[in-house]
Structure 1
Amino acid sequence: MAADANSIILHQYDVSPFSEKVRVVLGLKKLEWYACDEPVIMPKPELVALTGGYRKIPVMQIGADIYCATQIIIRELERRFPSPSIFVGGDKGLGWGTAMWTDRVFFQAAVAIIFGGGTALADEAFIKDREKLTGRPFDIAAMKQAAPLMAEQFRAQLGWIDDQLADGRAFLMGERAGLADASVFYNLAFIRWTSPAGAKLIAAWPRVAEWEARVAAIGHGTRHEIAREAALDIARAATSTEEPRADTGEPNGLKPGDRVSVMADDYGRDPIMGELVSSSAQHIAIRRADPRVGEVVVHFPRAGFLVMKA
């Protein structure tokens, strides 16, 4: 079955932890999608043609609409495919706060354990790439020194998860899996893939390991493969479905037609330039053009991103 402008295309790679979060959501919603495998390190010319400079993984493409960062990807999947919902326990607002915790505090503890403990991922090319991405040294020796302390932090957070499961519930918010489960699960998956020492930390919490197995059993929906060039051809032939929309509550007076730059506030702070199409408290969409893909609209979340007039 060939992909088209209505297909979900996830630009990802299999050992990407943030891609795993999205893959679990695709599984929860039982969706059909296309994996477009991108390189782990730069250069990523096809991805950059779509995004205008955003290089982090994953990125979701639907036609000529490009969604950068898991927050906006999952929000859009929920909007387009509302049933079954990812909000399963009164967590429609706080679910996103849980995701911010797992993306930052929990993830950073996992990173220190994985790279401080030694992993085949951390070759010289990977280290140099991540130093460019973060703008600071990717100091394996410092991570090795910090790993025992971060193991304590990771263990404490596993304890929170265990407490949530202590009443016998199957998933974090009740009897159905949702956003909270996908958000927490991917850090444990990343540990499992890369760190035997980290896996032992998880195994010490039987309720957590049993919950982890239940989430893993959900699967990833129906996956197909698509080549990068084919994905770009789809973007070039498509037209964005995003309509211009002003936000009367926009705190800095931004409005459709303004030239703006958008960048992440943590790392990978490459500014992406474009013309504002729509915005809200939770999203911003900008139009840009590239010789390879033509005109596309690139979508970002607001929490965790900075927007400035160009």
Structure 2
Amino acid sequence: MSDIILHHYPTSPFAEKVRIALGIKGLAWKSVIIPIIMPKPDLMPLTGGYRKTPVMQIGADIYCDSQCILRELERRFPQPSLYTGTDAGTANALAFWHDRNLFMPAVGMAFGSRSMENLPAGFFEDRARMSGRPLDLERLRAARPLFIDQLRTQWVWFDQMLADGRAFLQGQHPTLVDCAVYNPCWFIRRNCGVVAPFSEFPRLLAWTERMEQIGHGQPTPLDSKDALAIARAASPQATPQIDVHEPLGRTPGVKLEISPDDTGKDPVVGELLSISTQEVVIRREDPLVGEVAVHFPRTGFVIKAPG
């Protein structure tokens, strides 16, 4: 089996979600550090234009979005499971809900209060292009009370989950739900410290420390050019698959354009290879990597004909 290669950068919250999952499973993986802003010249040949972080590569199969990445890790490496003590439906539904409702207030709170000195030149312009609207620090600082209100209400729920003495949010074992809740908490602690409203939830703080102790598995550095060579030397392992209940009649071979439905809406175009209720895979080619299969989750993405 080809190595797990994670294309990420250290301060990415969603990369931390995946890194913690790799730690839960105790996996060895290759770490490719990518630029925090565009351009990302050694990532685009793999993804075809998808610019968000992280991206996982296994040979010539490329997995975009943490939803897709963690489902694939669970499929390939089922033990220890990310669903221990819960079930796949509950865990994926809660994780997606957390991704959509915790991430933006956490990032807003961090950007509205932290020093911007360590961010690269052009960061805010890049994120403005990614979000499709201006990124105004003064507006973020003014909105900080709203972010705190939103986070505090939700942190009460997570703190209540831990009230019966369980070690993790779904029981005695860390799950996908813990990975999803942890990454925005990690981002706030990293950038703001233990500040209100975090400081009023000692059980939640203790849980973040248990999550941190899990670690990231066994990463080793890999140069981005070597990752491109690995893709070029491999063949995609994804095979044609039809969703027999596909309501829109999509079948392998048709051209599709896929993009996130929230931010970073850069489209990726390719030939449909496989489609299921949870995933869509397109085949595409690039001179630097040859043929690759690019995997996306269906939830949170727009799938349509090109143009």
What SS is found at the alignment partner of 1:263? strand
- Counterpart of 2:188? 191
What SS is found at the alignment partner of 2:122? helix
How far apart are residue 251 of structure 1 and its match? 1.5
- The one-letter amino acid of 1:170's match is A
CA distance in 1, matches of 2:23, 2:290: 32
**Of residues 12, 27, 42 in structure 1, which corresponds to 2:23?**
27
Does the 8 Å contact 2:107/2:184 carry over to 1? no
Residue ranges of structure 2 left out of the alignment (5+ in a row)? none
- Counterpart of 1:118? 114
**Of residues 240, 243, 262 in structure 1, which corresponds to 2:239?**
243
CA distance in 2, matches of 1:268, 1:249: 29
| Count, aligned residues | 305
CA distance in 2, matches of 1:123, 1:138: 15
Does the 8 Å contact 1:119/1:195 carry over to 2? no
**Of residues 121, 124, 128 in structure 2, which corresponds to 1:127?**
124
* Structure 1 segment 55-66 matched on structure 2, within 5 A: 55-66=51-62
What SS is found at the alignment partner of 2:42? helix
CA distance in 1, matches of 2:126, 2:47: 19
- Counterpart of 1:206? 202
* Structure 1 segment 224-235 matched on structure 2, within 5 A: 224-235=220-231
| CA root-mean-square deviation | 1.2
Does the 8 Å contact 1:102/1:187 carry over to 2? no
* Structure 1 residues 78-125: Cα deviation after superposition (integer angstroms, max 9, x where no partner): 000011110022231021122122212111111121111133255651
Go from structure 1 to structure 2 and tell me whether the alpha carbon gap of 1:118 and 1:218 turns closer, same or farther (over 3 Å shift).
closer
**Of residues 46, 55, 61 in structure 1, which corresponds to 2:42?**
46
More displaced stretch, 30-39 vs 86-95 = 86-95
How far apart are residue 287 of structure 1 and its match? 0.3
Q: 1:104 aligned to 2:129?
A: no
- Counterpart of 1:303? 299
Does the 8 Å contact 1:22/1:182 carry over to 2? yes
CA distance in 2, matches of 1:43, 1:90: 40
* Structure 1 residues 285-307: Cα deviation after superposition (integer angstroms, max 9, x where no partner): 00000111111000000000011
Q: 1:178 aligned to 2:208?
A: no
How far apart are residue 75 of structure 1 and its match? 0.3
- The two structures have a TM-score, normalised by structure 2, of 0.97
- The one-letter amino acid of 1:60's match is M
- The two structures have a TM-score, normalised by structure 1, of 0.96
- The one-letter amino acid of 2:135's match is F
Identity of aligned residues (%): 48
CA distance in 1, matches of 2:92, 2:109: 25
Q: 1:148 aligned to 2:145?
A: yes
Does the 8 Å contact 1:240/1:297 carry over to 2? yes
- Counterpart of 1:74? 70
- Counterpart of 2:251? 255
CA distance in 2, matches of 1:122, 1:6: 34
**Of residues 2, 8, 24 in structure 2, which corresponds to 1:6?**
2
Moved over 3 A (4+): 121-124
Residue ranges of structure 1 left out of the alignment (5+ in a row)? none
Q: 1:164 aligned to 2:161?
A: yes
What SS is found at the alignment partner of 1:224? strand
CA distance in 1, matches of 2:149, 2:13: 21
Does the 8 Å contact 1:112/1:143 carry over to 2? yes
CA distance in 2, matches of 1:142, 1:54: 28
CA distance in 1, matches of 2:196, 2:30: 33
**Of residues 274, 277, 281 in structure 2, which corresponds to 1:278?**
274
